[in-house]
Amino acid sequence: MASSLSYAAFHYGSDSELQRVGVWEVDTVASEKSKYWIIYIHGGAWRDPRIDHKSFIPTIDAVISSQDECKSSISGFASVDYRLSPHPGFPQDPEGTTPRDYRNAFHPDHIKDVWSALRSLQERYAFGSNYVLLGHSAGATLALQLLMGSTALKGSAPPADVALPAAIVGLEGIYDLQGLVDRLGPEYAALFVGAFGDSSNWSDVSPMKFTKSFRSAWSEEHLVVLGWSPEDELIDRPEIEGMQKVLEKDNVNTLALTDLSGTHDGMWEDGRPFAQVIRKTLNHLKSSGLSITRQSSQIFDNDEANNRQGRQWRL
């Protein structure tokens, strides 16, 4: 269980209390370089203060308590918090809230924080690219935005000293903001405006609309896993299938797992579906012979309708 592991939390930035990472170490032998770290980015529509890095604990518990040998491939777990945008359901008084506690993030603050968190983790634990990066919902958007380079950073160059992961796992991800609004309804627009502004900005932040090549960010020895449950009441199948087509068009090694179980939030609340995806990802990396590298990876800029009833907006 996560409680049996060595846990620590630290800040990677000084602007916000949310610039924080939680770490659970499994293997504290620094010389062990053949194992992977599992790093998680939570969802919450870039704004939900109820969801933080500890939402990864049920998944860690499910991995640790399993009898699967994939546990022997894991050095540790980390979970990233990042600055959040305002949430109308949880308003704050700017006069009575300290700057470090005030949630007023706006793109590209969220993705900049992910880059900073990864840099800090790599500096502390020296695992290079030996990690699997999981993101749920909005966290999946952020994970794939790493591969979009300056496009997802409003023209700023990504840090060249941050190694990209061996695999990225998008779980019930948001990949086409406008597409979700068009298919599922205008209520989704309210989720996106607070983080990105009006719809004229959405294409630049949507991984499915990336006009360059995802392959240019990675070599062929890397993997993207897309996970989705038919029980998901917030994200529909076309969102996953569309992202899969884009990645495959760019010749990125892609594994789609569309038979997971659980509702949108139920999957991380339970933990076992995410643990299942972690196990399959590690096994796929092993069976495919995908190499573990230690170098920095620089990004080059070259009846689902029924399930959506009763939505709770915690994407």
296 is known as an active-site residue: no
> β-strand 223-227 against 254-257: which pairing, if any?
parallel
137 is catalytic: yes
For residue 11, tell me if it sits in a domain.
yes
CATH number for the domain including 203? 3.40.50.1820
Q: Does the annotation count 55 as an active-site position? A: no
Q: What are phi and psi of 88, to 5 degrees?
A: -65, -25
The rounded distance, in Å, linking the Cα atoms of 127 and 75 is 9
Taking only the tens place, the pLDDT of each residue in 81-139 is 999 999 999 999 999 999 999 999 999 999 999 999 999 999 999 999 999 999 999 99
Whether 137 and 45 have beta carbons less than 8 Å apart is answered as yes
Task: Say if 308 falls within a structural domain.
Answer: no
In a domain, 95, yes or no: no
Tell me if 117 sits within 8 A of 21, measured CB to CB.
yes
End-to-end CA distance of the chain: 26
Residue 3 confidence (pLDDT): 72
- Please tell me the total number of residues recorded for the chain in this structure: 315
Distance CA 268, CA 48 (A): 15
Whether 303 is covered by a domain: the verdict is no
Is 110 part of a structural domain of the chain? yes
Q: Which is catalytic among the residues 42, 53, 222, 264?
A: 264
Range(s) of the domain holding residue 121: 2-86+100-258+267-293
Q: Is residue 41 part of a domain?
A: yes
Q: So what's the pLDDT on residue 301?
A: 43
In 10 A of CB 30, how many CB atoms? 10
Does some domain include residue 236? yes
Number of structural domains found in the chain: 1
H or E segment to which residue 297 belongs? none
Catalytic hit among 232, 236, 250, 265: 232
Q: Is residue 309 part of a domain?
A: no
Choosing from 85, 137, 229, 297, the catalytic residue is: 137
pLDDT, residue 220, reads 67
pLDDT at residue 29 in the model: 62
Q: Each residue of 16-49: pLDDT tens digit?
A: 999 999 999 887 665 456 799 999 999 999 999 9
Look at residues 113, 116, 112 and name the one whose alpha carbon lies nearest to residue 149.
Answer: 112
Residues of the chain with pLDDT under 50: 31, 291, 293-311, 313
Closest CA to 263 of 190, 191, 192, 312: 312
